[in-house]
Amino acid sequence: MYADPPERCPLQARPAEVIEPGTVAFQALGYTGLVVVAGWTTANADLYRSGLAAQGVFPTFSRKKATLIIGVIVLVASVFPFVYRNYLLFVTYAGITLVPIGGILFASYWILPRLGMTAFSARYKGVANMPALLAWGITVALAASAVALNLMPVFIAFVPAFILSTVLYVLIAAKMGAAEQYPEGEAADGLFQERVDVVHAEQAEEAPSDVETRDRRKPTRVLKVVWIVDLVVIFMAGLLVLLSSPDVAAYEAHRDQFWAVASGDRHLRRLRLLGAASPQGLHQAGVGVARSQRAGGWLFASLLGEPVNPRTDCTEWKLLVADAGVRAARLHDARPSAGWARCCGLPRSL
């Protein structure tokens, strides 16, 4: 694909399943994707809530100390290829273990009261919440087994897991005391809630009422307008890719335009100077940019002069296979046949 060595394009020099997420973000969005998308917007929020969760498990640790420890552990673990190359698998099974908890909470606070049952029977009895443990354990075991045995696609396992945990918890809780009456426990809860309401009312009276809670400074308003316009433009560019790309050429033109808009690419200003306001104009301007970029060593380039996206060839191949009405096959499998046909002197149209 390129005149230069393959190491200049790491996305096409290695299989997709072994490419690091940081490399993908950098190739797709440049330093914007590497720093903002792949780094700050995801890792920062994950690290914050991980620190809060760790502090809940170890209440003697401060939030800063718990977050620092979690950050060091994640940093060390991310160095090993086994971890980051199987991250999707880890997240999948972690989701399967967490989804039943949502189903149990949904059943406890929304379904049980409407059925005339209580969600606090275990606390009233002073015992562990066995219905929740059983519903969670059975759901996780069945969902993980179904995914491991290829009985269920992993991307839909969350829905049946949520439904199953909800139904199991309602049935088991009804059998283990949720349908019984606990007048003393309910009276104690009512008294506690009254005290909480009194404390909240006192705090509301003592709190100052003339404090301005909204940031009305001019720079803040300008930034708000900027990010709203930015999101709208990016969203419209994405819709253009999805809904107004009748063929591969139009798709690539719209896709490259989306990348330029979303990442603040350096070619965006050049395309504007060339008057590329329509897909046709973008195509003409992009061709000129691509030709100018070939002097830099690229044998084939996109309409913006960047390296060809690794998925472009596969996408075009799938469209050709579908149009020809033949069985689905990988693009890689066609290479030996194509080489053999050309060596035998068969026509290119074959």
Taking only the tens of pLDDT, the chain with its 350 residues reads 333 444 444 444 455 444 555 555 555 555 555 555 555 556 777 788 888 888 888 888 888 888 889 888 888 887 787 776 777 778 778 888 889 999 999 999 999 999 999 989 988 988 889 999 999 999 999 998 888 888 888 778 888 999 999 999 999 999 999 999 898 988 998 999 999 999 988 888 887 777 676 778 888 888 889 889 888 888 888 888 888 888 888 888 888 888 777 765 444 444 444 444 444 444 554 445 444 444 445 566 655 556 666 666 777 777 777 777 777 777 777 766 766 666 666 665 55
Encoded tokens for 319: 């469209």
Q: Is 214 helix (H, G, I), strand (E, B) or coil?
A: coil
In the listed set 171, 190, 209, which residue is the last one of a domain according to the structure? 190
Residues 114 and 160 placed together within one structural domain of the fold: yes
Last residue of one domain, picked from the residues 153, 173, 190: 190
Q: Quick one: residue 116, left, alpha or beta (phi over 0 = left, psi -120 to 50 = alpha)?
A: left
* Residue 174: inside a domain: yes
d(CA 152, CA 139): 14
Whole domain around residue 61: which residue ranges? 6-80
Chain mean position to CA 15: 21
What is the pLDDT, as a whole number, of residue 37? 53
* 203 part of a folded domain: no
DSSP state of 34: I
Amino acid found at 306? E
Q: What is the pTM of this model?
A: 0.49
Cβ-count burial 186-220 (b if 16+ within 10 Å, e if not): eeeeeeeeeeeeeeeeeeeeeeeeeeeeeeeeeee
The reply to whether 72 and 117 lie within a common domain is: no
Same domain, 94 and 70: no
- At residue 323, the pLDDT reads 74
Residue 199 lies in a domain: no
Distance, CA of 12 to CA of 24 (rounded, Å)? 11
Cβ atoms of 155 and 146 within 8 Å: the answer is: no
210 located within any domain: no
Which amino acid is it at 61? F
**pLDDT score of 103:** 94
Residue 132 falls within a domain, yes or no? Answer: yes
| Helices H / strands E in the chain, number of each | 17, 0
Count of structural domains within the chain: 4
Indicate whether 301 and 345 sit together in one domain. no
Question: Where is the domain boundary, 34, 50, 80?
Answer: 80
Give yes or no: residues 51 and 110 share one domain. no
Structure tokens, 157: 């396992």
The answer as to whether 46 is a domain residue is: yes
Tell me, yes or no, whether 119 and 59 share the same domain: no
- What is the spatial distance between Cα 176 and Cα 173, in angstroms, rounded to a whole number? 5
Q: Is residue 123 part of a domain?
A: yes
